[in-house]
Chains A and B, each alone.
Chain A
Amino acid sequence: MWEYRDKVAIAGIGYTELIRRNPRTLASLTVEATDAALADAGLSRADVDGLATTPTMPVYGGEKGNQDGIDVVTPAYLAGALKIRDRITWLGNTAPMVTHAAIDAVNALVAGACTHVVLYRALHMPRGRYSNFTSTHASGKDQFFAPYGFSIPAAWAATVARRYLETSGAKRESFANFVVDNRERAHLNPNAYFRGKTLTRDEYLTSRMIADPITMLDCDLPVDGAVAIVLTRADRARDLHNPPALISGYATSNHAGATGVPMTLEDIRAGAGATGERLWSAAGIDRGDIDIAQLYDGFSIFTYTWLEGLGFCGPGEAAAFIDDGNARPTGSLPLNTGGGCLAEGRLHGMTQLTEAAYQVTGRAGERQIPNARRSVVTVSNGLAGSTAFVISADH
């Protein structure tokens, strides 16, 4: 078991609105989210001595700039914008995803490198198409994929989803069950982009196909916006406004699969399984202790592979598990209770972390799941670069 289990807590959460295009700068949105998270915790900028993020935009083309404050917001830039440069004792600037920065922040706090960390993610919609491989040549791994028109993650996920459907016998109607049901969660989440925007099964089944069987509604939604959370030691958090959401354990995946294709069904399921074993071991619990699940849904199929990889159901059984209503708020494992990144918006895993924290502290409002004391959180697809957490209520 991890020596620092339950020693660090999420003490506050702040969101900007999540919209498709915001005329404000990304730095201004990040400051707003930071101030909101601090106010939620009952703290002020003067209390902050650590900042952490992953200040990058996804690759795969698009007209993405690299200007600090506009296209990305580095911790050093934010320290200046918050006028707290002289107070900062630790900055985390971690690849590949913001949940890796979260792990660094937890470790910095237990090491005493700082006392209050603001972990944030600021993302925006680049000009032009989000994915667009405009280079005339492809090098590195891309040389084996881009010449075949296989340079977008939606198409990679589509080969996983296609093999899932053919090997499990599940139909696209199951994805419809999941995505339509998931949208319902968003209507009770004040932060969600799709709050109040209804979705029917017919709309799902006829939505624009990106790479069969992945439609645009199977992809998380790129937005302009920022989210921030305040992390501090649990003993300090207990003196603040909110009940603490404890970090009971974390795990990273280093699972390497076949290399001739970016991802396979079997590899991501195996990677999810190995990550889960590490996670339960760190948190000193087993799967049966989990009340709710916030599983990464950058593409809808990943929730299926996480459910199966983590052992909540057997290989090929997630479709029936979902079709039978187990993932609903009243089911055996309430799943993505705020709508996930399919319905809240693309925040690269922060969606999963914040929803877990809201739920285990009883702060999820209309969508609160009764007696949700432990949430599992997973981010990315299970392969190397993925992360997972157990977030728990205080005891």
Chain B
Amino acid sequence: MSQTPLKPLPLADEITGGYWEAARAGRLAVQYCPGCARYVHLPADICPGCDNPDLQWRTVSGRAELYSYTVVHDAPAPGFADSLPYIVGVVELEEQAGLLVTTNLMDVDPDDLRIGLTLDVTFEELAPGTTVPQFRPRKA
């Protein structure tokens, strides 16, 4: 029996679990520190600003702008060989300057990419029970 290799699946841990739980429920949630009123990503055990250990998961708008991107032509893992070329985007969430998230960009031609493109979150089920946030251009 031949099997298509899967893309690597995120292995949630004590710190990151809230991110993937929210994604499974179709929400983009980012850690938030009430103490210094800032979002934190990647998820952290304590706030990098004020050492607060009680960071909260806060659902965000899913609205973002494209900060940078690359069109990948060389598969970094067996599960990407059938997807080439694909786009990796670095997106800045509208909630906070410099709040960057790595994603694939869906439903867009590489020639139409430019920094500043407005994007919305969507979700992709990579495997049963594992959903990851993805982004695509905002529809006019």
Contact = CB atoms under 8 A, between A and B. Distances in A.
Given A138-B11, A214-B70, A265-B68, A260 B6 contact: no
Nearest to B40: A259
Contact of A132 (B13, B76, B126): B76
B76 A147 contact: no
A148 B103 contact: yes
B101 A155 contact: no
9 A-B pairs with the lowest CB-CB distances in the bound complex, closest first = A158-B70, A143-B10, A260-B100, A133-B77, A163-B68, A212-B71, A146-B8, A138-B8, A159-B68
Interface residues of B, number: 42
A395 B110 CA distance: 56
Given A147-B8, A149-B76, A141 B90 contact: no
Contact of B90 (A134, A135, A260): A260
A136 B3 CA distance: 13
A147 B126 contact: yes
Contact of A143 (B16, B68, B72, B78): B16
20 contacts: A132-B78, A134-B77, A135-B8, A137-B11, A138-B8, A138-B9, A144-B16, A146-B7, A147-B132, A151-B8, A155-B72, A162-B69, A163-B68, A166-B114, A209-B73, A210-B74, A211-B74, A212-B73, A261-B90, A264-B90
A67 interface: no
Interface in B86-124: 86, 88, 90, 98-104, 110, 114-115
Classify the secondary structure of A's interface with B. mixed
B46 interface: no
Given A133-B76, A147-B10, A149-B77, 7 more contacts: A137-B10, A138-B8, A146-B76, A146-B77, A148-B88, A167-B115, A259-B41
B57 interface: no
Interface core residue of B9, B72, B132 (most chain A CB under 10 Å): B72
Contacts of B44: 259
Contacts of A151: 8, 76-77
A154 interface: yes
Contacts of B36: none
A264 B100 contact: yes
Contacts of B86: 149
Interface of B: 6-13, 16, 41-42, 44, 67-78, 80, 83, 85-86, 88, 90, 98-104, 110, 114-115, 126, 132
A151 B70 CA distance: 13
B71 A211 contact: yes
A163 B42 CA distance: 21
A159 B72 contact: no
Contacts of B67: 163, 264
B70 A159 contact: yes
A43 B77 CA distance: 47
Contact of B77 (A61, A154, A210, A264): A61
A24 B112 CA distance: 50
Contact of B10 (A144, A158, A212, A259): A144
A134 B88 contact: no
A84 B10 CA distance: 48
